[in-house]
Structure 1
Amino acid sequence: MKLYGYILSIVGTRILAAAAILLGILQVLELLDATPEILVRGLGLGGVAYHALLRLPRMLEQAAPLAVLAGGLFAFGQLAREQAVTAMRASGVSVYRLLGVSLMAAAGVMVIDLMALEVVAPRADLALANWWRATAAEADRAERGLRAFRSGDELVVARASDERGDRLDEVRIYRRDGEGQVNERIAAPSATYGAEGWRLEQPSLIRFTEEEAMASSAEALIWPTRLRPADVRALLFSDQAPSGATARRALGGVGSERPESYYAVRVHRTLAEPIAVLVMLLLAAPVALANFRTTQGAVLSAAALAAGLTFLVFDGLLTALGEGGALSPFLAAWTAPAVFSAMAATVLLRMEG
């Protein structure tokens, strides 16, 4: 047990150190661009710190795979140079057991990454967008424009006026028949969300038939839709990638403004992105078996680093193809993790054998 604790501490501390360095670099690059505007607004160092805090979840999402790759390379390289791996194998501890213990540290990073991606980041993005708009000068505070999206079979054009997402202005709802032709248009100055759902204020309705267009109006009308304020916030207030839960609701017809392929890929990426952390550790694992008395150690370290960066590029390319509908969502999300995991396992098996 002491041996496993030692391995876990070596791998864990190296991953944490790499994560701290990468997050620091990303924060510096972000703040170089944002700090002048924050200071101009009179928000001071507190505003700089608040901005950095709200951007941290997205940066953690970016840094986690590289942190595990770099931390794994440092940890496995140290164990190989100290001949610790040789001693473990001589005492009956296989490299697979070493990798299994190391995966516990990577799994912890994976869980943190998943929580940041699905829970913390969407809330932080919304808070940052609202804070940034609220602290802008009145003259620079641009009015939100009209946005178009789908809700079920309906096409909706509206402007979000409330950061809580429970009020829409200048609402236009276009209903279609089974052939996709518009057969009704509802226009209302505003819509508010309450216990009964969305209430359209003073709506005017036009129903189209083959012969004529029939107009009518009402004081109020309940809009039967599954759209919720949380969906409005995700659609109209955030420019970041949606969470898995939001993507699943979009696929269910609640509300979407992008193709179905985009949301289908995002559902798969909910797990595929955190699993990239484990793939990075597998890519670094062969370094533990390297001989650092020759050039093998340096060559394997460079190859693992190149493989990790190639994985990120390949994964991003396939994801973009899937989101555009050129590749199936499953293949777009899982091909890169499967291929690079198989490559790393093959190298490890050959070196161990």
Structure 2
Amino acid sequence: MRLFPSSTLARYLGQMFVVRVLAFLIGLVMVLQTLDLLSESDKILAVDGNGYGALAHYVSLRMPQLISQFLPFSVLLGTLVTLATLNQNSEVVVMRAAGISAHQVLMPLVAAAGLISAGHFLFNETVVVQSTARLQAWERVDYAPRSVIQPPEGQEIWVADGDTIIHAREAIQRQGQLILPGFELFERQEGSHLRRITTAEKAVYANGAWTLHSVRVYSPTGEPATAQDTLPWRTNVQTDRFLAVAVDPATVSYTRLRQAIRELSEGGRPTESLVASLYHKISGPFSSMLMPLLAAVSAFGVVRSGKLFVRIVIGMALGFGYFVADNFMLAMGQFGSVPPFLAAWAAPLLFLCIGESVLFRTEE
């Protein structure tokens, strides 16, 4: 009735599992990063001033995304190879003959996958969101030479109002006011010639009107900039347009996204798609814990029956089926077709039941 087998056996299984997961992850990321770099290198090197340093910078920003995206898939492949190897060498038969249940055989793998899931979540929160924000900022300027790409505090705002370009560091809704920190206004004449650049510490929308604070106005002719404490601003852009692009779940952490959802909810804005993404920030890394259970079908059964390959294919099909169902439900949640909680957790709960039913039917 113990949850784990002996400590020696648990370390043996856990170490074998982690080594294979890391091997698959490194191999997949290296191959995919090479292919991705080949597709983007022409665009990067086409910009004057970009060289091998720019390519290395792109790799440093893109690789965390690939690691996060393919870590659960590497856990699936690592589990399949680990369990198939144990089955092929009759080690599973020995463990079962010693009185160890199927769940006890899998528990060291599930525990190791749980640690991988926790590390995956922390990696997303501390590294992936920052690298994604930097990469998107670099892509917006067409890979222009920049020594350091600073990540925005939130999702940067770029909105066009005719020939005028509006830029802000982020959009914050608080106490009935809409605030755009780091405000910049690029006013152009017909064509592409700049007529005036206006910067402000922030733009505040309250009582139906915009006001710029700590304003500086620059002229393209080189005249000295003029400064004002406040300046009224009129625009045809509706406030909903600023809020619509204010939050990108891929570039903000869990706590920042939750705060943005609260601010939008207070302003009466729809937040279902953001709530689904918020839940998926937890359910996504949790998927690694399901992989040992979905791949367990490859561990059991008599090797001499000749069905080991069929069992591996079944385990891989269950894993791929999970990824397809998870992406489908998340897309449905972002479109508002299903409730946010169901969009994020329906696939994990469904395949948890499927994996347990297959395991009980075949072994327990």
**Shorter-chain TM band:** 0.7 to 0.9
1:72-107: per-residue Cα shift (whole Å, max 9, x none)? 000000000100000011112222112111113212
| 31-40 or 264-273, which deviates more | 31-40
**Distance (whole Å) between structure 2 residues aligned to residue 102 and residue 53 of structure 1:** 30
**Where do residues 203-242 of structure 1 align in structure 2 (5 Å cutoff)?**
203-204=231-232, 240=250, 242=252
| Superposed displacement of residue 246, structure 1 | 1.9
5+ long unaligned stretches in structure 2: 1-6, 147-156, 160-165, 186-197, 217-227, 235-241
2:106 aligns to what?
A: 99
**Counterpart Cα distance in 2 of 1:94 and 1:312:** 28
* Equivalent position SS for 1:136: coil
Matching of residues 19-38 of structure 1 within 5 Å: 19-38=25-44
SS in 1 for 2:144: coil
Aligned CA RMSD, in angstroms, stands at 3.5
Superposed displacement of residue 291, structure 1: 2.9
> 2: distance between equivalents of 1:348 and 1:191?
67
> What is the distance in 2 between the residues matched to 1:342 and 1:305?
17
Which residue is 1:348 aligned to?
359
- Structure 1 CA distance for aligned equivalents of residues 36 and 231 of structure 2: 45
1:134 is displaced (CA, Å) by 9.2
Q: Identity percentage over the alignment?
A: 27
2:333: which partner in 1? Answer: 322
Residues 204, 43 of structure 1: alpha-carbon distance in 2 compared, 3 angstrom cutoff: closer
Distance in 2, matches of 1:336 and 1:29, equals 30
Task: Give the Cα–Cα distance (whole angstroms) in 2 for the partners of residues 11 and 119 of structure 1.
Answer: 26
| 1:131-168 Cα shifts (integer Å, max 9, x gaps) | 55496169xxxx95436956144456787559xxxx97
1:202 to 230, 239, 258: 230
Maintained 8 Å contact 2:215/2:230: no
- Give the conservation status (yes or no) of the 8 Å contact 1:60–1:113: no
Amino acid of the structure 1 residue aligned with 2:305: T
Please name the residue that 2:258 is paired with: 248
SS in 1 for 2:338: coil
Matched, 1:87 2:94: yes
- State TM-score, norm by structure 1: 0.75
Alignment partner, residue 194 of structure 2: none
TM-score, with structure 2 as normaliser: 0.73
- Distance in 2 (alpha carbons) for counterparts of 1:137 and 1:9: 44
Q: Aligned residue for 1:278?
A: 289
Partner of 1:14: 20
Partners of 1:137 and 1:109 lie apart in 2 by 36
Equivalent of 1:51 in 48, 58, 67: 58
**Cα distance per residue 1:212-263 (max 9 Å; x no partner):** xxxxxxxxxxxxxxxxxxxx9xx66968353311210112207999841122
Amino acid in the other structure paired with 2:124: L
Which residue among 10, 21, 34 is the counterpart of 1:4?
10
Provide the rounded CA distance (Å) in 2 between the counterparts of 1:126 and 1:10.
36
**17-26 vs 271-280, greater mean Cα deviation:** 17-26
Residues 252-267 of structure 1 mapped to structure 2, 5 A cutoff = 252-253=262-263, 259-267=270-278
Partner residue, 1:136: 144
1:109 aligns with 2:116: yes
- 5+ residue gaps, structure 1, are 176-182, 193-199, 207-231
Please tell me whether residue 332 in structure 1 is matched to residue 356 in structure 2.
Answer: no
